[in-house]
Amino acid sequence: MERLSNLQGAVLYIVVPCYNEEEVLPETAKRLRIKLEALMAAGRISRESRILFVNDGSRDKTWQIITRLHRECPLFSGVDLTRNRGHQNALLAGLMTARERADLTISMDADLQDDIDAVDGMMDRYLDGCDIVYGVRSSREQDSFFKRTTAEGFYRLMNAMGANVVFNHADYRLMSRRALEGLAQFEEVNLFLRGLVPMIGYRTGTVEYERGKRFAGESKYPLKKMLAFALEGITSLSTRPLRYITGLGIFVFFVSIAMLIYILARHFNGHTVTGWASVACSVWAIGGLILLSLGVIGEYIGKIYLETKGRPRFLIREILEGENETAD
């Protein structure tokens, strides 16, 4: 399909992955509906545009709320996954569902922290020729010192380890249909969309916005999950940690040669090394490095194992679209 030169008549899908979001979902739906209807009234998008909620195996009433929203208003569509597959797989399921229905998609979280009004700026950048537009936080002044430090450290760590991501960007982004077609060609099971999307390679742009506080519910990314997410991204996108292990091994090898020369020199000079502390420290240090190296290598082997299985990244139980509910 040819790229649209203007947005009049363009079908926009706003894709929102949801996991246990019953507290915030009614308000999220209300605000998104207001935004979508305003864009339609202004003639910027087609009246075939939709808000697509993806239920990621929620244990609360999230899917019941999505079903009710769809029944009350045709602007709301829904995708129900068979079980919890994680945020990245749920988001991909929504994007791939929207790919055949929309000219462009905008993905965002359900917690209302992303500024909905930034959608206008994203669409303007699309008209300027960008196939991918990243929503980027303009500042982190509202975050606590701990949250700000750990979040910024997350992005620096990712880039240092070779997983190049857009600084202060999460998953709030616009993608054209052409960009989604490119994303569909990445078939790996271990997903890290923040790193995969920049690999697509089409023209990109950014829109800055102020991120607000979560409207309701609890954050789905505490420090423990953030660290796991970083490890997933690094090992999915980069082999740099393995190169660091190689470099560390070479460094330790030369240190051992230097220590051997030092010990021999002390021996021939008649000085004996009587302390056990240095030996114990060396054993523990080398042992720790070996275990760390094996752990990192094990992470990569585990990912190879999962990739060779070729398991589906998600399975859809039901899709709500059109005037009535339809099963997939």
- For residue 283, which phi and psi values (nearest 5 degrees)? -65, -45
Tell me how far apart the alpha carbons of residues 158 and 109 are, in angstroms, rounded to a whole number.
21
Who has greater pLDDT, 130 or 153? Answer: 130
Is residue 246 classed as helix, strand or coil in its secondary structure? helix
Is residue 80 classed as helix, strand or coil in its secondary structure? strand
Q: Is the pLDDT of residue 2 over 60?
A: no
Contact between 133 and 210 under an 8 Å Cβ cutoff? The reply is no
Q: Locate the domains of the chain by residue range.
A: 12-237+312-327, 240-309
CA 193 to chain centre: 5
When pLDDT is cut at 50, 70 and 90, the band that residue 248 belongs to is confident
When pLDDT is cut at 50, 70 and 90, the band that residue 326 belongs to is very low
What is the Rg, in whole angstroms, of the alpha carbon atoms belonging to the chain?
A: 25
For the chain, give the mean pLDDT.
82
Average pLDDT over residues 179-200: 87
Question: Where in 108-227 does DSSP place strands (E)?
Answer: 132-137, 169-176, 204-209
| Residue written as token pair 């009433």 | 61
Average pLDDT over residues 49-71: 95
| Residue written as token pair 């990245």 | 88
Average pLDDT over residues 176-190: 90
When pLDDT is cut at 50, 70 and 90, the band that residue 5 belongs to is low
Who has greater pLDDT, 270 or 244? Answer: 244
What is residue 270's DSSP assignment?
Answer: T
Is residue 168 classed as helix, strand or coil in its secondary structure? coil
Who has greater pLDDT, 152 or 101? Answer: 101
Average pLDDT over residues 47-61: 95
Domain 12-237+312-327 in CATH: superfamily? Spore Coat Polysaccharide Biosynthesis Protein SpsA; Chain A (3.90.550.10)
